[in-house]
Structure 1
């Protein structure tokens, strides 16, 4: 581990001094960006873009009392911006992967899962919680009653309502409804 970077005040600094200081800060900034993005390559891109911004706009940061704090702030924002830009791209890539390289069954399974998840999310809060605890997490009714502070009868009633609501919502969708029973 090298010596920690020096604190920079608003005194004028040459381009060479600035690049040297940014070079000593880079490993810490990369660690910070990797923590935010979760990916080393994405973090490298975010840090490089942040350092480039700092170099290009070096005259604007002279009023900051700490170059390290400024760098950390800019890297933080760049990493967050990178995540925002990457999320839609990842969703598009996932859709492309499903449609291009997957079988029709995998695509249908993905669509079915998305439809079911959407139907569960639309349940009232109490029913959604109880349904998830019972059907997804595998809790027993008595355990759910203790967690929710409700009677076993109330748990059974909410489960019944949740299942009924899900059944009716899913039957309205063409892929779930048996032929001739679809709602229009």
Structure 2
């Protein structure tokens, strides 16, 4: 089921047959450098365990002109994460999202910008998100540039937030606020 499509980029729900793509993408050191870590290549069992759970995470596939090129997930931020991030009940509906483009030939072509813009529009307009948050690692300058271009802003440093390649890495909590109206 396609959730949205814009300028050749679309997002559809994850299907059972997508596991082979995830294994291939998450076995590629070029992808793992940015997502999960090069010391964590995924086999089929890991993909099944991590991506085919029955929880509140909406797992999806990114497509470019009907070619499967990556993975994106979104989810309502749970009360524990809201507290860590410094949000209260008055902050409204908050969604988190994580993504990667698994086909390196699709990097540095503006696809990530179109993806994030489309996903922000979907979450704010269709799911009525008040805020969207992500926590990219601080060293991932390319991703941070894309997110900032799409209206996200740095909120706070999350020290030693994510285990990546043998050490805890700092991340930025970044936020898109629908009240600012960039995508509505």
How would you bin the TM-score normalised by the shorter chain? under 0.3
**What's the TM-score once normalised by structure 1's chain length?**
0.23
Larger Cα Rg: Structure 1 or Structure 2? 1
Greater length-normalized contact order (CA 8 Å, ≥ 6 residues apart): 2
Q: Which has the higher strand share?
A: 2
Q: Which has the higher helix share?
A: 1
